[in-house]
Chains A and B, each alone.
Chain A
Amino acid sequence: MALQTTITGAEYGGALVRALKSFALLRESWIGMIGAAIIIFWSLVALSAPWLAPLDPNAVIQAFAKPGAAGPDGVTFWLGTDHLGRDILSRLMWGSRTVLFYAPIATVTAYTVGILMGLAAGYRGGLVDDILSRISDIILSFPVLVLYIIVIGAVGASGVNIIIAITFASAPGIMRIVRGLVLDLRNRDYVAAAQTRGDSDWRIMLVEILPNARGPLIVDACLRLGYVIITIGVLGFLGLGLPPPDPDWGGMVNETRQMAIVFPHMTLMPCIAISSLILGFNLLADGLREIALRD
């Protein structure tokens, strides 16, 4: 009785096939493609930094070299050196590892907490919603920078603590988005169907509701990754990031900013690196949103 249409292989395929298929969709948005290209570029740099970096990032060689200047033993400082004589290109490459390691982990942690809070608040409603919403209101009423300083000041500067601070500051925002989506989705008939067969609340939240909220959440996650990169930069700049001497983009800006008028390249290079990566994530988010709106 129904139309017989052939099923393509992808229908049967697993998560990998589906991910590849979504990526194929992204090709239709050139903005998204540029964003993805920038992110892939930095990811490759971060992965291959030990082999790609021309010099040891912490080796003191020759201070205040201009970009392209020749150093001893025939090396070239493509992006110059900093006030302590360390090669900026190598430091940027190693520094990308910090950002691309901590930013996704912090985002995932923040999302896990935010989603769980949002699901509970949106689906249960009532007192649970009131308590969770007021807590998030309190957190959101602080300027984020003050929050970071308080949290890191309290627990000390380290990689794990950066993740804790970022989760603490961003989870309430994520909770609000999730709560809004859940308030809409929980009134769908398929949720009622799950309720009438006696499924547990957590099963309904995680299996029936959450997968249908993923569209807006993926776009938001891309944007938020960009913000987290800024945050990590800012924390480095404020001296709340990873302890020196390991290279950290925000820290590099901070260390050299007083000499920026005389030797602008020392500050400019890490700034360009930070903004390009953020731009990459923003463009990817724009591309994803464009595709999502089209269907």
Chain B
Amino acid sequence: MNNSANGSGNGATAAPILECKDLCISYYTRAGEIPAVVDFSLTVQPGETIGIVGESGCGKSTVAMAIMQYMGHNGGITGGSIKFKGRDMTKMSEAELRQLRGSEIAMIYQEPFASLNPSLRVSTQLLEVPMTHENITRAEARERCMQVLRDVRLPDPARVMNSYPHQLSGGQQQRVVIAMGLLSNPSLLLLDEPTTALDVTVEAGIVKLIADISAKYGTSQIYISHNLGLILETCDRVFVMYSGEVVEEGRIKSLFTWPRHPYTHGLFACIPLPTADKNAAPLRPIPGQLPLPHERPVGCYYAPRCNHFKEGLCDARHFPMEKVEGDEGANHFVRCLRWREIDHHQEAPGGDPRAAAEIGDCCLEVTDMQKYYPVKDSSLKALFTGKRMRNVKANESLNFRAHEGETVAIVGESGCGKSTFAKVLMGLETGTGGEIRHDGVDIAEIAVRDRSNRQISSLQMVFQNPFDTLNPSHTIGAQIERVVKKFGVEKNKAAVRERVMKLLDTVKLPRDFYYRKPRQLSGGQKQRIGIARAFAGNPSMVIADEPVSALDVSVAAAVTELLTDIQREHRTTLLFISHDLSVVRYLADRIVVMYLGQIMERGTTEQIFSPPYHPYTEALLSAVPIADPEVTKREIVLDGNVPSAMDPPSGCPFSTRCPRKIGAICETENPPERQASERHYIKCHIELDELRKVEEVIHVPKEEERIRAE
């Protein structure tokens, strides 16, 4: 049907490692056969890294599973072939496949903690690989394991070998899993979202490692991700999938600079690129939803959501991919009948500009806020010194302010204390010291049960996990109604109901969702209900704890836009907690960067994103994957892991990983907070003048300097 992937950009001299041709994969369920992937063709050359990008449900993981021939009992290949080094895998026996898996083809999964057996030492799990597939002695196998562990840049491989998985951090575990994949020197490595579960700075290290592997081992890789930025940093060629089929493919540079398919355009308009701005160039969500496999339309699957849909053409029949003329080496293909007619400049990211929100008076003032958790120290040393109780400093002297209508982001990696702060603010925990003044009242030490109804209703929260935020046992209507009644917004039964209906309108969901149960909703819809519930009591301040991190890019864009719209309308203060600096840069007016319970830097978004930087901010900025090939970044990869809050470094908390450490003072003294400009503070021993000399981390070319501009 299509011959798109055949013939590679780099000469097609060597035999391809993997060739999928017209692959069709279906799942069999109670509802009948569900075609998960249709007409998938792909060729992987030796040493090449292929990226597969798409939103959940587009079939990208199914492709990986099919390549491994590991479909489970209800999946099957209904057409096409998968040739690995010229042999058809679909016709191989179970024994032959077992020989291939783990030795010729290795797979790395999303969650490192789930890929390693918690009850076996790392050495046992690693040694198994070469000893099963090759006839070598234990000593040789051990030597090989140590070598590979060094190659994945794990410090002290001998110690790692003897550890149990739980003794390693998430990043170290993922490195062990990658080492396990590399042990038998496979020709093909499948990586299914290998960094999604990791922190950004750790992710940056793994991404660099993955890029180095193909250079060092010559391993071909298939990298599956929903993150366009990561794909850009790791891959040579990219496949964009939508609803079970490839809609566009080509070499990275070509596809990222000149996307041709309306869906690819849509994806780029949904991610907060450095050029996006919540007022001047907002995100532009893709209308509609991904069709379910049995509801796919005839013709182009993207047609119902496409601006360029033409009746009689796009919905006539299913059509193959077309080659895009131009750069021959790019091998750029697109599944669109109208790509020549579309004005691709018009499709560039950035929606219609709108007026900036007005910023009012100060409504939240945090002064020297502290939250300590007491823990019992049962070590021998504690027994002798008599210090049996220790304090874990989850928050140490936090200072910042938020104004009405403003968006303040708290950024930091896991364990930095941002969620603890949210808990104290909401009253689920009480602070140990300092003040949190909200509307003039200090609420740091008032638990939620002791707060007045008005205090509670003025502070509401949007939660992270859409699958957890709504109670599966109650209808949507009942759950929003509860808030309306509880805070006494409306008393009369009919009025309460009317208010819920209005809220459903506000979050752009149909009114008959009132009767639905959460399980009938998609992740994005649940998150909208979560927002409706948070705004039901007319709060003056809403805390959003990573509200879009679990959502697909197009859904996340819609939810982000919804949140800003409602905020603008109600002049609500938004406290946005996130680890993702690209979303934060887009949304926030002010940013607070936290590390191990302390604020390292705070200031306006522009101040944070340009020098002077705190060294940690600098590393965080460098770690953000940006899906724009013309944006250049300075590479700063941090060593090591975030230290445990139980045992923080003395002196500056960042001293153990800081690339700009100036000497012993960093390890002994807590750095002073220096004022760089108005309301911009940096907590570092390095003089501000030194920090000012630092170069910009992210360089965004001017619009007229861009290749695209021509």
Interface residues of A (CB under 8 A from B): 1-4, 7, 11-12, 188-190, 192-193, 195-199, 207-208, 211-212, 214
Contact = CB atoms under 8 A, between A and B. Distances in A.
B287 interface: yes
Contact of A189 (B463, B474, B510, B515): B463
B472 interface: yes
B508 A1 contact: yes
Contact of A1 (B288, B463, B533): B288
B456 interface: yes
Contacts of A214: 473
A189 B469 contact: yes
B428 A11 contact: no
6 contacts: A2-B289, A2-B510, A3-B289, A197-B457, A197-B487, A198-B449
Contacts of A7: 512, 515-516
Contacts, number: 71
Interface string B427-461: 11000000000000000000011010100110111
B537 interface: yes
Contacts of A12: 515
Given A193-B461, A193-B533, A208 B471 contact: yes
B515 A193 contact: no
A214 B472 CA distance: 12
B483 interface: yes
B673 interface: no
Interface centre among A7, A188, A190 (most CB of B within 10 A): A190
Nearest to B459: A196
A188 B473 CA distance: 13
A198 B509 contact: no
A2 B512 contact: no
A1 B473 CA distance: 25
B465 A11 contact: no
B449 A196 contact: no
Contacts of B460: 196-197
A7 B520 CA distance: 11
B472 A212 contact: yes
Interface string B280-298: 0000000111000000000
Interface in B461-494: 461, 463-465, 468-474, 479, 482-483, 486-487
Given A4-B510, A189-B465, A195-B428, 9 more contacts: A2-B510, A190-B469, A190-B470, A190-B479, A192-B463, A196-B459, A197-B460, A197-B483, A212-B473
B425 to A, nearest CB: 10
B533 A198 contact: no
Interface of B: 287-289, 426-428, 448-449, 451, 453, 456-457, 459-461, 463-465, 468-474, 479, 482-483, 486-487, 508-510, 512-513, 515-516, 525, 533, 537, 558
Contacts of B510: 2, 4
A196 B456 contact: yes
Interface centre among A1, A11, A197, A207 (most CB of B within 10 A): A197
B472 A196 contact: no
A194 B426 CA distance: 12
A196 B448 contact: yes
A52 B390 CA distance: 74
A1 B507 CA distance: 11
A199 B512 CA distance: 27
Contacts of A198: 448-449, 451, 453, 456, 486
A199 B482 CA distance: 10
A197 B515 contact: no
Given A196-B428, A198-B451, A211-B474, A1 B287 contact: yes
Contacts of B459: 196
Contacts of A11: 515-516
A214 B508 CA distance: 33
Contacts of A195: 428, 448
A1 B289 CA distance: 8
A212 B469 CA distance: 13
Contacts of B457: 197
Nearest to A3: B289
A193 B463 contact: yes
Contacts of B509: 1-2
Given A197-B456, A198-B456, A192 B487 contact: no
A188 B467 CA distance: 9
Nearest to B536: A197
A211 B471 CA distance: 9
B506 to A, nearest CB: 13
A198 B428 CA distance: 10
Contacts of B513: 2
Nearest to B518: A190
Nearest to A1: B508
A52 B463 CA distance: 60
B40 to A, nearest CB: 26
A173 to B, nearest CB: 24
A196 B473 contact: no
A4 B453 CA distance: 37
Contacts of A190: 468-471, 479
B289 A211 contact: no
A192 B464 CA distance: 12
A190 B508 CA distance: 22
A7 B427 CA distance: 39
Nearest to B285: A1
| 10 nearest A-B pairs in the assembled complex, by CB-CB distance | A211-B473, A189-B463, A189-B468, A190-B471, A189-B469, A198-B456, A196-B426, A188-B468, A11-B515, A212-B473
A196 B427 contact: yes
A12 B512 CA distance: 11
Contacts of A211: 471, 473-474
Nearest to A214: B473
Contacts of A1: 287-288, 508-509, 558
Contact of B486 (A3, A189, A199, A208): A199
Nearest to B288: A1
A11 B516 CA distance: 7
Contacts of B486: 197-199
A211 B474 CA distance: 9
Contacts of A196: 426-428, 448, 456, 459-461
